[in-house]
Chains A and B, each alone.
Chain A
Amino acid sequence: MAVVKLFGAWLSPYCYRVIWALKLKGIAYEYIEEDLSNKSPLLLQYNPIHKKIPVLLHDDKPICESTVILRYIDEIWPQNPLLPADPHERAVALFWIKFADDKSPLISKLFRTDGEEQQAVAKECFEMLEVLEEHALIGGKKFFGGDEINMVDIAFCSVAHWLGVIEDFAGLKIFEPHKFPRLNSWIQNFKSVPVIKDNLPDTDKMLALLKRRREMLLASKSS
């Protein structure tokens, strides 16, 4: 039987994307936590180009980049499909997944910057949310995937969970429910899905780690 292994880091939204996809498909896997400040020789061997997590190992074959991994998982295990079957609908889904991929780094940039730079990033985040509210969730759908979550919902996990935690940490208020009613409904619905709810990093643990990391960042900037 083929062995599935996942190299990840508990704080990374990209890692959770893969965990959720595997769980939605009912695939057993071995999880290996990577210390990103001290990457294992195995990780560097399996992802020599980017040296990043997540990396999926299927039958000893490595697959890198979370979106590439998600598409691979969806093709190898077709139960509970994560993308529409219709080519045009699939193209639209892929468009939003690319949008999520392009914009998600803004959210982690929020905690790595301060002052004017942070304000500029916050503005970009706000504009991203406006686009989602105006263009992505039209039609009164519960999820991007319709009645069930799909790859697009999974791709926007940073907006659903990480943004809120980083806002709390940095004392920012970019996402306000009354300004983004559709997005707000989507976030509540998404985080109520059992597979998501049961597999999210603990908020307090995240805040504690973010605080430590930020202190280190600011200390290295001023030295």
Chain B
Amino acid sequence: MAEEVVLLDFWPSPFGMRSRIALAEKGIKYEHKEEDLRNKSALLLQMNPVHKKIPVLIHNGKPVCESLIQVQYIDEVWHDKAPLLPSDPYQKATARFWADYVDKKIYEVGGRVWKTKGEKQATAKKELIETLKLLEKELGDKPYFGGESLGYVDVAFIPFYSWFYALEKCGNFSIEAECPKLIAWAKRCMQKESVAKSLPDQQKVYDFILEMKKHFGIE
């Protein structure tokens, strides 16, 4: 049966990037549809009526919403290539815990770094570094969070690397200085075609953030 896979996406979205990477890892051909979030398509509103957000994965006409759920779905359906989740239940639970941690912390804290200034921004920067250091500790000496190969937590987390340059410029700090092992991990991930092709250029992301700041009236 011909598989029809569509991804409704928005280029700077780290959540969209997760699904892009998973699809690329599995070598799945799909149609990429870029959404204008100020003018959402009828298809998006129909496929994600609850949140009206991207990314949405549409497989043979049926939608899957929420990026981590998409990654798990892709891993299950196309299970014969490049497994992302470990098969051992305890290791799986550990991977889910850390992906959940990334979900809870990085986007919100990172957001505060570029959206605020003064003391609020200083607090946000401190929290971000603490969060990244915890993740760096969890990585340890492994080449990837998934061990010898790219795994679920790597896919969940690496998209945020494309935002690091923008955060560093906005916050006037260096993430590499604080978390060198994490940056080494990120660069290792970027060597993979599936990741390199799925992440936007960091300067482009920075320009996007500057536009957002103007739009929201943040200096």
**Partner-B contacts on A (CB < 8 A):** 49, 58, 61, 63-65, 67-69, 71-72, 75-76, 87-88, 90-91, 94-95, 98-99, 131, 135
Choose from A63, A65, A91, A131 the contact partner of B73 (Cβ within 8 Å): A91
Tell me whether chain A's interface is mostly helix, strand or loop, or mixed.
helix
Are A65 and B100 also in contact (CB < 8 A) when A87-B76, A88-B62, A95-B66 are? yes
Alpha-carbon distance between A75 and B89 when the two chains are bound, in angstroms? 7
Report the minimum CB–CB distance from B138 to chain A (whole Å). 9
23 residue pairs from A and B, CB less than 8 Å apart: A61-B90, A63-B93, A63-B97, A64-B97, A65-B96, A67-B100, A68-B93, A68-B96, A68-B100, A71-B92, A72-B93, A88-B62, A88-B64, A90-B76, A91-B64, A91-B70, A94-B66, A94-B72, A95-B64, A98-B66, A98-B69, A135-B49, A135-B50
Report the minimum CB–CB distance from A122 to chain B (whole Å). 20
* CB atoms of A72 and B69 under 8 A apart: no
Alpha-carbon distance between A91 and B76 when the two chains are bound, in angstroms? 10
Are A88 and B97 also in contact (CB < 8 A) when A61-B90, A72-B90 are? no
Q: Which residues of A contact B59 (CB under 8 A)?
A: 88
What 1/0 flags go to B35-77 for Cβ under 8 Å of A?
A: 0000000000000011000000001001011100110110011
Choose from A49, A69, A99, A131 the contact partner of B101 (Cβ within 8 Å): A49
Q: Which residues of B contact A65 (CB under 8 A)?
A: 96-97, 100
Alpha-carbon distance between A72 and B93 when the two chains are bound, in angstroms? 6
Q: Which residues of B contact A94 (CB under 8 A)?
A: 66, 69, 72
Tell me whether chain B's interface is mostly helix, strand or loop, or mixed.
helix
Minimal Cβ-Cβ distance residue in A for B99 = A68
Q: Which residues of A contact B77 (CB under 8 A)?
A: 87
18 new A-B contacts, CB < 8 A, other than A63-B93, A75-B92, are: A49-B134, A63-B90, A63-B97, A64-B97, A65-B97, A65-B100, A68-B96, A72-B89, A72-B90, A75-B89, A87-B73, A88-B59, A88-B62, A88-B64, A88-B73, A91-B69, A99-B50, A131-B50
Minimal Cβ-Cβ distance residue in A for B103 = A98
Minimal Cβ-Cβ distance residue in B for A75 = B89
Report the minimum CB–CB distance from A77 to chain B (whole Å). 10
* Interface size bracket, B side: 20 to 34
Alpha-carbon distance between A90 and B101 when the two chains are bound, in angstroms? 22
Alpha-carbon distance between A23 and B43 when the two chains are bound, in angstroms? 42
- Which residues of chain B (116-166) have a CB below 8 Å from chain A? 134
Q: Which residues of A contact B134 (CB under 8 A)?
A: 49
Report the minimum CB–CB distance from B165 to chain A (whole Å). 27
Q: Which residues of A contact B65 (CB under 8 A)?
A: 95
Report the minimum CB–CB distance from A131 to chain B (whole Å). 6
Alpha-carbon distance between A99 and B49 when the two chains are bound, in angstroms? 13
Minimal Cβ-Cβ distance residue in A for B62 = A88
Alpha-carbon distance between A71 and B96 when the two chains are bound, in angstroms? 9
Report the minimum CB–CB distance from A151 to chain B (whole Å). 13
Alpha-carbon distance between A131 and B69 when the two chains are bound, in angstroms? 20
